[in-house]
Structure 1
Amino acid sequence: MKTVFITGCSSGFGLVTAELFLDRGWQVIASMRSLEGSSLEKHERLRALPLDVTDIASIRRAIEVAGPIDVLVNNAGVGLFGALEAASMASVRQIFEINILGTIAMTQAVLPQMRARRSGVIVNVSSMVTEHPLPLLSTYTASKAAVNAFTESLAIELQEVGVRAHLVLPGRAPSTRFGESARSLLQGPAPEAYASLLQKVVGGMTDQADGLTFPSDVADAIWRAATDPGSPMRLPAGADAVAVAARSSGARA
């Protein structure tokens, strides 16, 4: 029986991905900062673990408890929404600590066992805003662009040891808690010059309450990356993400 280790499973993409792998017969290690309030139902093939991806000691404990890992899904992430002028550098650093440094630390922690077996898959969840930037998300976009560059280089590097690395790029997904967490990290009032833009963007999020990318779309893309050796390195997830990817490919052609 294969084992997948997924970070950020308290809600959204991580939660639905954990449920998908369970439904398909895998052993699932579902990690999150706090186990309180988790909606994951108990299952004999499920183990929920507390994990802070910014804490090396926490990562080491989780990896030791998890045992052999066939697939690592780096899904844990946080957003920063609002005008750059209003963001504290503490918040900016937190975004990079979680979104890219946490991804690197988790990957580094599992690679020795995968290298020893000459098998394994790393799936990093990024965002299509790296292909189609949106206003008021500059720091978040920068952190996810770093995830893209890291994964693209890593994928080539790991070919030497029989391990695959993939990117999953979701589109806009207002149906998750991402918008709430992003807004919670906006510190200080934005200058008045950005007020109309802020209102426009927030209104657009509200108007798309059903979302254009659902957690199930992301879970399906992660499943494909994990189980199909022939899958592309970059996998857009969701109708809008696929459309953006097609436009980007056309522009590069």
Structure 2
Amino acid sequence: MQTILITGCSSGFGLETARLFLDRGWNVVATMRTPREVALPASDRLRVLALDVTDAASIRQAIEAAGPVNVLVNNAGIGWLNALEGTPLDVVREVFETNTFGTMAMTQAVLPQFRERRAGVVVNVTSSVTQKPLHLLSVYTASKAAVNAFTESLALELEPFGVRVRLVIPGRAPETAFGQNARSRMTNGFPEPYADLVQKVFASWQQQPETEVTRPLDVAEAVWRAATDPVCPMSLPAGADAVALSSRSS
């Protein structure tokens, strides 16, 4: 029976991905910084583990507790919205520590077992903001764009060992707690010269249609395809808006 380890499972994409793989008969290791009761069915195929992807000891303990895994999904992430001028460098480092370096650290931790078995899949979840520049997202976009480039190069590096590496690129996801949690960290501290731009950006969000958005299930299905289809494309858009954006840019 196949085992998948997913980071960032407390809500949103990670939680839905864990649910889908459980429903389809996999062993699931669902990880989050602070384990708590989540909306997952009781199952002897489910383990919920503590994991902080920015902490080397936490990564080591989680990998040891998980045992052999077949698929790693790097989904954990934090958001940030502000002008670069209004972003302290310690915040930049925090965003990169989770979104970029956390992804690299988790991947590095599972590679020895994947390489030795000459089998395994790494799925990195990024964002469609890497495909279309948006205001006030320079730091967040950079952290995710770095993962895109990392994934593409790593795929070549690991191909001789039979290890697959894939990207899942979600669009805007108003249903998830990710945006709500991120916005709570972003609502103060905009530089005054950017006030008009911030107002316009927030207004444009409110005008966006709710028909072309990304649902958690869209991402879970894309992760499923990345994990189970050896000939699927390197990059998989997830969600109606991400698919539309990918079509326009191709």
Q: TM-score range by the shorter chain?
A: over 0.9
Residue by residue over 1:157-186, the C-alpha shift from the partner in whole angstroms, topping out at 9 and shown as x without a partner, is 010100000000001111111222322333
Q: Percent identity between the aligned chains?
A: 63
Quote the residue 2:224 is aligned against: 223
One-letter code aligned to 2:24: R
How many corresponding residue pairs? 249
1:83 and 1:136 in contact (8 A); partners too: yes
Q: Unaligned 5+ residue runs, structure 1?
A: none
More displaced stretch, 200-209 vs 35-44? 200-209
Per-residue CA deviations over 1:111-163 (Å, capped at 9, x if unaligned) read 00011110000000011110101111110000000000100000000101000
Question: Pairwise mapping of residues 131-142 of structure 1 onto structure 2 (< 5 A)?
Answer: 131-142=131-142
Equivalent residue number for residue 57 of structure 2? 57
The C-alpha deviation readout for 1:30-79, integer Å capped at 9, x for no partner, is: 00001135333432211000100000110010001101100000000001
Q: How does 1:73-88 map to 2 (within 5 A)?
A: 73-88=73-88
In 2: Cα distance, 1:42 partner to 1:18 partner? 12
Q: 1:208 to 1:227 in 2, by over 3 A?
A: same
TM-score normalised by L of structure 2: 0.95
Q: State how far apart, in whole Å, the 1-side matches of 2:188 and 2:176 are.
A: 24
Distance 1:196 1:187, change over 3 A: closer
The residue number in structure 2 matching 1:192 is: 192
Bigger Cα displacement from structure 2, 124-133 vs 206-215: 206-215
> In the alignment, which residue of structure 2 is the partner of 1:214?
215
8 Å CA contact 1:71, 1:120 repeated in 2? yes
Map 1:16-55 onto structure 2 (within 5 A). 16-55=16-55
Distance across 2 between alignment mates of 1:188 and 1:84: 14
Task: Report which stretch shifted further, 200-209 or 59-68.
Answer: 200-209
Mapped to 1, the partners of 2:214 and 2:52 lie a distance apart of 26
Q: Does 1:239 align with 2:240?
A: yes
Q: Does 1:156 align with 2:174?
A: no
Q: Give CA-to-partner distance per residue, 1:171-211, whole Å, 9 cap, x none.
A: 11111112223223338521233223222322343455856
RMSD in angstroms over aligned alpha carbons? 1.5
TM-score (norm 1): 0.94
1:83 CA drift (Å): 1.8
Deviates more, 1:5-14 or 1:34-43: 34-43
Q: Distance in 1 between matches of 2:73 and 2:96?
A: 18
From the superposition, tell whether residues 239 and 209 of structure 1 become closer, same or farther in structure 2 (CA, over 3 Å).
closer
SS of the residue corresponding to residue 168 of structure 1 reads strand
State the match for 1:100 in structure 2. 100
What does residue 115 of structure 2 align with?
115
The answer as to 2:207 corresponding to 1:203 is: no
Bigger Cα displacement from structure 2, 226-235 vs 189-198: 189-198
| Aligned-pair CA distance for 1:248 | 1.3
Residue 109 of structure 2 corresponds to residue 143 of structure 1:
no
Q: Residues of 1 paired with 2:240 and 2:187: CA distance?
A: 32
In the alignment, the residues of structure 2 paired with residue 171 and residue 165 of structure 1 have an alpha-carbon distance, to the nearest angstrom, of 20
For 2:4, the equivalent position in structure 1 comes to 4
Specify the SS of the correspondent of 1:166.
strand
